[in-house]
């Protein structure tokens, strides 16, 4: 059997009882290490599970999937994922590859950021399409996700923004060489995400001034309310609600961070619950 097991969001103990029992009886166990991370680290997981883990980076999962699945027709192999197994499309691909090989599969679900964001008080059924905010560089500044945020606002919906992480990313120079060299790990913070959004807002408003824009009532502005979340599900979890401009200067500490763009017209219960996280106790 090939198992894909969700680990939850906080620490080693967040794995389900079902998942833990499976892990203890598997011959090989892989830990996916590039779509998300647990702040406790690999060693703590190994100590709690009583098993050695094989770190599965992007290169292994996307280019050497057959290696992961090898022997799963006669042995029990586990693939561990932070959050829930279907939080990333890569894991769906693994399931399809296993099916093509005639390997039996089983999924063990767990909490993910997609439902844990309810901790800030915003109601889950008021969320629209989730977006990802990627890191920019000097030559590549994609902003297509902004249109999805505006569409959600237009329909009275909140937007969960998943922030970019870079783990074992090859340098541009090494891509031309036989020997790979990797950039240091990077995890986007809410302040970095806010900074990029503010650049987009300034650019869009400039276009509107030139007569190229529309839907002003649904756009973002420097004063738009946003919610920053850090290490959701962990004992050091932090949440703060403030303006987009203020969020640029907020430090929520270590990763992982997420950002929410709430609907302009909050439900009274959402507003009351969110108020406890307001920066400087200012009314939202």
Q: In this predicted structure, what is the pLDDT of residue 217?
A: 62
Task: Output 60 or 169, whichever has higher pLDDT.
Answer: 60
Give the per-residue pLDDT at 52.
Answer: 94
Provide the edge-to-edge strand list for the sheet that holds 225-230.
Answer: 131-133, 159-163, 257-261, 225-230, 238-243
- Mean pLDDT of the region 115-131: 96
Task: Report the pLDDT value the prediction gives residue 262, as an integer from 0 to 100.
Answer: 97
In the block, tokens 């703060």 appear at 240
Phi, psi of 132 (to 5 degrees): -115, 135
Is there a common fold for 2-111 and 114-276? no
Q: Higher model confidence: residue 199 or residue 217? A: 199
Starting at the edge strand that comes first in sequence, how are the strands of the sheet with 105-108 ordered?
A: 54-56, 28-32, 77-81, 2-6, 105-108
Q: What percent of the chain has pLDDT over 70?
A: 92
| Predicted local distance difference test score (pLDDT) of residue 33 | 79
In which band, very low, low, confident or very high, does the pLDDT at 143 lie, cut at 50, 70 and 90? Answer: very high
Which CATH architecture fits 2-111?
3-Layer(aba) Sandwich (3.40)
Mean pLDDT of 48-52: 93
Instruction: Give the CATH fold of the 114-276 domain.
Output: 3.30.950
CA dist 36 → 88, 105, 162 (Å): 10, 22, 10
Instruction: Name the one residue in this structure whose structure tokens are 């009532």.
Output: 217
- Map out the domains of the chain as residue ranges: 2-111, 114-276
| pLDDT confidence of residue 54 | 93
What is residue 224's predicted lDDT score, i.e. its pLDDT?
Answer: 95
Share of the chain above pLDDT 90, in %: 70
Neighbour-count burial for 266-276, b at 16+ CB within 10 Å, e otherwise: beeebbebbee
What is the tens place of the pLDDT at every residue in 70-92? 999 999 999 999 999 988 777 88
First to last CA, the chain: 51
Q: Which neighbouring-strand residues pair with 30? A: 54, 79
Residue 17 has pLDDT above 90, yes or no: yes
In angstroms, the CA 34 to CA 94 distance is: 15
Residue 236 or residue 183, greater confidence: 236
Comparing 121 with 185, the larger pLDDT belongs to: 121
- Res. 258: pLDDT tops 60: yes
For residue 226, the cross-strand partners are: 242
Position 172 scores a pLDDT of 65
Q: Which residues are annotated as a binding site for S-adenosyl-L-methionine?
A: 9, 84, 87, 112-113, 163, 232, 257
Give Cα 201 distance to the centre of its chain. Answer: 23
Each residue's pLDDT tens digit, 204-243: 877 665 555 555 666 899 999 999 999 999 999 999 999 9
Mean of pLDDT over the chain: 89
What is the arithmetic mean of pLDDT over 107-123?
Answer: 95
Q: Pull the structure tokens for residue 93.
A: 């691909």
* Average pLDDT value for residue range 101-119: 95
Q: Residue 283: its pLDDT value, please? A: 78
Q: What is the pLDDT of residues 155-176, one digit of tens each?
A: 999 999 999 988 776 666 666 6
User: Residue positions in the annotated binding site?
Assistant: 9, 84, 87, 112-113, 163, 232, 257
Q: What is the pLDDT of residue 108?
A: 97
Q: What is the 3-state secondary structure (H, E, C) of the chain?
A: CEEEEECECCCHHHCCHHHHHHHHCCCEEEEECCCCCCCCCHHHHHHHHCCCCEEECHHHHHHCHHHHHCCCCCCCEEEEECECHHHCHHHHHHHHHHHHCCCCEEEECCCCHHHHHHHHCCCHHHECCCEEECCCCCCCCCCHHHHHHHHHHHCCCEEEEEECEECCCECCCHHHCCCCCECCCEECCHHHHHHHHHHHHHHHHHHHHCCCCCCHHHCCCCCCEEEEEECCCCCCCEEEEEEHHHHCCCCCCCCCEEEEECCCCCCHHHHHHHHHHEHHHCCC
pLDDT at 207: 67
């Amino acid at each position: 059997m090939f198992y894909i097991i969700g680990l939850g969001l906080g620490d080693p103990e967040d794995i389900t009882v079902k998942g833990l029992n499976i892990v203890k009886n598997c011959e090989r166990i892989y830990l996916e290490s590039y779509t998300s991370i647990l702040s406790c680290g690999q060693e703590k997981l190994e100590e709690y599970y009583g098993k050695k883990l094989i770190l599965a980076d992007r290169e292994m999962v996307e280019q050497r999937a057959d290696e992961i699945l090898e022997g799963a027709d006669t042995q029990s192999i586990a693939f561990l994922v932070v959050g829930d197994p279907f939080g990333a499309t890569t894991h769906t691909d693994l399931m399809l590859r296993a099916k093509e090989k005639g390997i039996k599969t089983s999924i063990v679900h767990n909490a993910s950021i997609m439902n844990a964001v309810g901790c800030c008080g915003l109601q889950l059924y008021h969320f629209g399409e989730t977006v990802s905010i990627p890191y920019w560089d000097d030559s590549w500044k994609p902003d297509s996700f902004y249109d999805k945020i505006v569409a959600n606002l237009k329909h009275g919906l909140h937007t969960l923004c998943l922030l970019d992480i870079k783990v074992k990313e090859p340098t541009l120079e090494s891509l031309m060489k036989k020997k790979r060299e990797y950039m240091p790990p990077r995890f986007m913070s809410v302040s970095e995400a806010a900074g990029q959004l503010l650049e987009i807002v300034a650019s869009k408003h400039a276009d509107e001034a030139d007569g190229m824009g529309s839907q002003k009532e649904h756009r973002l502005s420097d004063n738009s309310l946003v919610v920053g979340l850090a290490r959701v599900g962990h004992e050091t979890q932090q949440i703060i609600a403030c303006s987009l401009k203020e969020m640029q200067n907020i430090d929520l500490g270590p990763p992982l961070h997420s950002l929410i763009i709430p609907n302009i017209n909050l439900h009274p219960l959402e507003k009351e619950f969110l108020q406890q996280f307001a920066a400087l106790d200012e009314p939202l």
